Chain A
Amino acid sequence: MIDPIKPPRRKNPLLRTRLPALPPRPRSRTSHGFTRAAAEGRFVLQRCEACGCFAYPAREACPSCLFDGLTFVEAPRRGMLLAETTARVPSDVYFRERAPWRIGLVKMDCGPTIVAHLHADCVEGAAVRMSLQLDKSGQAVAFAHPEGETANMADDKQWREMTADPKFRRVLVTNGRSVIGQEAAVALRAAGAKTVFVGVAEPWRPFAGENLLRGQDGIEIVTLDAADEKVVADLAADIGGKVDILVNTTEYVRPGGLLDRRGTSIARDEIDQAYLGFINLAQAFGPAMRMRGADGINSSAAWVNILSVYALANWPAFGAYSASQAACLSLSHSLRAELRPGGVRVMNLFTGPVDTEWFQTVPPPKVAPRAIAQAIVSGLKGGLEEMYVGDVAEEIRQRLAANPKALERELDR
Chain B
Amino acid sequence: MTNSLRAPYDGVVIAAPVTIPYVRYSIESAQWWIGRALSALVAQAGIKASDIDGMCVSSFTMGTDSGVGLTQHFGLCVRWLDTIPLGGASAIAGLRKAARAVQARDADIVACIAGDTNHVDSFRLTLENFSRFNQDAVYPYGAGGANSSFALIARNYMRTFGVTREDVGRIAVAQRTNALCNPHALMKTPLTMEQYLAARPISDPIHLFDCVMPCAGAEAFLVMREETATSLALPAVRLLSTIERHNAFADDPMQVRGGWAMDVGELYAMAGVKPDDLDVVQTYDDYPVITMMQFEDLGFCRKGEGAAFVRQHDLTIDGDFPHNTSGGQLSVGQAGAAGAYLGLVEGLRQVLGTAGPTQVGNASLALASGFGMINYDRGLASGAAIFAGPSR
Q: Give complex CA distance A265, B127 in Å.
A: 58
Q: Is residue A364 contacting chain B, with contact meaning CB distance below 8 A?
A: no
Contacts of A411 in B (CB 8 A): none
Contacts of A117 in B (CB 8 A): 141-142
One digit per residue, 1 when the CB lies within 8 angstroms of any chain A CB and 0 when it does not, for chain B 126-151 equals 01100011011111111111011001
**A57 and B155 within 8 A (CB):** no
One digit per residue, 1 when the CB lies within 8 angstroms of any chain A CB and 0 when it does not, for chain B 265-295 equals 0000000000000000000000000000000
Q: Give complex CA distance A94, B205 in Å.
A: 22
**Cross-interface CB contact of B143 among A58, A94, A105, cutoff 8 Å:** A94
Q: Give complex CA distance A90, B143 in Å.
A: 5
Contacts of B206 in A (CB 8 A): 85
Q: Give complex CA distance A102, B148 in Å.
A: 10
Most buried by B among A27, A28, A92: A92
- Of B57-65, B108-116, B196-204, B333-341, the one contacting chain A is B196-204
Contacts of B264 in A (CB 8 A): none
Q: Is residue B32 contacting chain A, with contact meaning CB distance below 8 A?
A: no
Contacts of B377 in A (CB 8 A): 105, 113, 115
**A85 and B203 within 8 A (CB):** yes
How many Å from the CB of A161 to the closest CB on chain B? Answer: 11
Q: Give complex CA distance A135, B137 in Å.
A: 13
**Cross-interface CB contact of B155 among A85, A87, A88, A137, cutoff 8 Å:** A85
Q: Give complex CA distance A57, B141 in Å.
A: 13
Q: Is residue B16 contacting chain A, with contact meaning CB distance below 8 A?
A: no
**B148 and A135 within 8 A (CB):** no
Nearest B-chain residue to A86, judged by Cβ = B204
Contacts of B145 in A (CB 8 A): 90-91
**Cross-interface CB contact of B136 among A58, A85, A95, A107, cutoff 8 Å:** A58
Q: Is residue B43 contacting chain A, with contact meaning CB distance below 8 A?
A: no
**B135 and A27 within 8 A (CB):** yes
Most buried by A among B133, B136, B155: B136
Q: Is residue A173 contacting chain B, with contact meaning CB distance below 8 A?
A: no
**B152 and A84 within 8 A (CB):** yes
Q: Is residue A89 contacting chain B, with contact meaning CB distance below 8 A?
A: yes
**B136 and A90 within 8 A (CB):** no
Contacts of A102 in B (CB 8 A): 142
Q: Is residue B309 contacting chain A, with contact meaning CB distance below 8 A?
A: no
Q: Give complex CA distance A155, B143 in Å.
A: 23
Q: Is residue B376 contacting chain A, with contact meaning CB distance below 8 A?
A: yes
Q: Give complex CA distance A89, B147 in Å.
A: 9
Q: Is residue B156 contacting chain A, with contact meaning CB distance below 8 A?
A: yes
Nearest B-chain residue to A85, judged by Cβ = B151
Contacts of B205 in A (CB 8 A): 85
**B156 and A82 within 8 A (CB):** yes
One digit per residue, 1 when the CB lies within 8 angstroms of any chain B CB and 0 when it does not, for chain A 58-90 equals 100001000000000000000000111111111
Contacts of A103 in B (CB 8 A): 141-142, 144, 148, 152
Nearest B-chain residue to A58, judged by Cβ = B136
Q: Is residue A282 contacting chain B, with contact meaning CB distance below 8 A?
A: no
Q: Give complex CA distance A104, B144 in Å.
A: 12
**B137 and A56 within 8 A (CB):** yes
Answer whether A23 and B140 are a contact pair too, CB < 8 Å, given A83-B155, A88-B201.
Answer: yes
**B135 and A26 within 8 A (CB):** yes
**B376 and A90 within 8 A (CB):** no
Contacts of A87 in B (CB 8 A): 142-144, 147-148, 151, 202-203
**B139 and A24 within 8 A (CB):** yes
**Cross-interface CB contact of B152 among A96, A104, A141, cutoff 8 Å:** A104
How many Å from the CB of B209 to the closest CB on chain A? Answer: 14
Q: Is residue A377 contacting chain B, with contact meaning CB distance below 8 A?
A: no
**B203 and A86 within 8 A (CB):** yes
Answer whether A115 and B141 are a contact pair too, CB < 8 Å, given A85-B148, A85-B203, A89-B202.
Answer: yes
One digit per residue, 1 when the CB lies within 8 angstroms of any chain B CB and 0 when it does not, for chain A 36-71 equals 000000000000000000001110000100000000
Q: Is residue B254 contacting chain A, with contact meaning CB distance below 8 A?
A: yes
How many Å from the CB of B23 to the closest CB on chain A? Answer: 20
How many Å from the CB of B41 to the closest CB on chain A? Answer: 34
How many Å from the CB of B358 to the closest CB on chain A? Answer: 31
**A95 and B142 within 8 A (CB):** yes
Q: Give complex CA distance A374, B206 in Å.
A: 45
Q: Is residue B123 contacting chain A, with contact meaning CB distance below 8 A?
A: yes
Nearest B-chain residue to A26, judged by Cβ = B135
Nearest A-chain residue to B160, judged by Cβ = A83
Nearest A-chain residue to B140, judged by Cβ = A24
**B140 and A91 within 8 A (CB):** no
How many Å from the CB of A90 to the closest CB on chain B? Answer: 4
Q: Give complex CA distance A61, B152 in Å.
A: 27
Q: Is residue A139 contacting chain B, with contact meaning CB distance below 8 A?
A: yes
Q: Is residue B124 contacting chain A, with contact meaning CB distance below 8 A?
A: yes
Nearest B-chain residue to A32, judged by Cβ = B136
Q: Is residue A289 contacting chain B, with contact meaning CB distance below 8 A?
A: no
Contacts of B376 in A (CB 8 A): 57, 115
**A105 and B152 within 8 A (CB):** yes
Answer whether A139 and B142 are a contact pair too, CB < 8 Å, given A85-B151, A105-B254, A113-B377.
Answer: no
Q: Give complex CA distance A115, B374 in Å.
A: 13
**B143 and A23 within 8 A (CB):** yes
Contacts of A26 in B (CB 8 A): 128, 135
**Cross-interface CB contact of A24 among B143, B147, B148, B152, cutoff 8 Å:** B143
Q: Is residue B253 contacting chain A, with contact meaning CB distance below 8 A?
A: yes
Q: Give complex CA distance A57, B376 in Å.
A: 8
Q: Give complex CA distance A139, B140 in Å.
A: 9
- Contacts of A16-34 to chain B: CB distance below 8 A: 23-24, 26-28, 31
Contacts of A115 in B (CB 8 A): 137-138, 141, 152, 376-377
One digit per residue, 1 when the CB lies within 8 angstroms of any chain A CB and 0 when it does not, for chain B 240-271 equals 00000000001001100000000000000000
Contacts of B127 in A (CB 8 A): 91
Q: Is residue A179 contacting chain B, with contact meaning CB distance below 8 A?
A: no
Most buried by B among A26, A56, A83, A105: A83
How many Å from the CB of B248 to the closest CB on chain A? Answer: 14
Answer whether A89 and B203 are a contact pair too, CB < 8 Å, given A28-B132, A83-B156, A113-B377.
Answer: yes
How many Å from the CB of B119 to the closest CB on chain A? Answer: 14
Q: Is residue A359 contacting chain B, with contact meaning CB distance below 8 A?
A: no
Q: Give complex CA distance A90, B123 in Å.
A: 12
Nearest B-chain residue to A30, judged by Cβ = B136
**Cross-interface CB contact of B141 among A96, A99, A116, cutoff 8 Å:** A116
**B253 and A82 within 8 A (CB):** yes
- Contacts of B201-230 to chain A: CB distance below 8 A: 201-206
How many Å from the CB of B159 to the closest CB on chain A? Answer: 8
**Known A84-B155, A85-B155, A105-B377; further 11 A-B contacts with Cβ < 8 A:** A57-B133, A85-B144, A88-B201, A91-B124, A92-B128, A94-B143, A96-B143, A105-B254, A113-B254, A114-B137, A116-B141
Closest 7 CB pairs of A and B: A87-B144, A92-B143, A85-B151, A57-B137, A87-B142, A101-B142, A90-B143
Binding site for B on A (CB under 8 A): 23-24, 26-28, 31, 56-58, 63, 82-92, 94-96, 99, 101-105, 107, 113-117, 135, 137, 139, 141-142
6 A–B contacts from the bound complex (CB under 8 Å): A83-B153, A88-B201, A113-B253, A115-B152, A115-B376, A141-B141
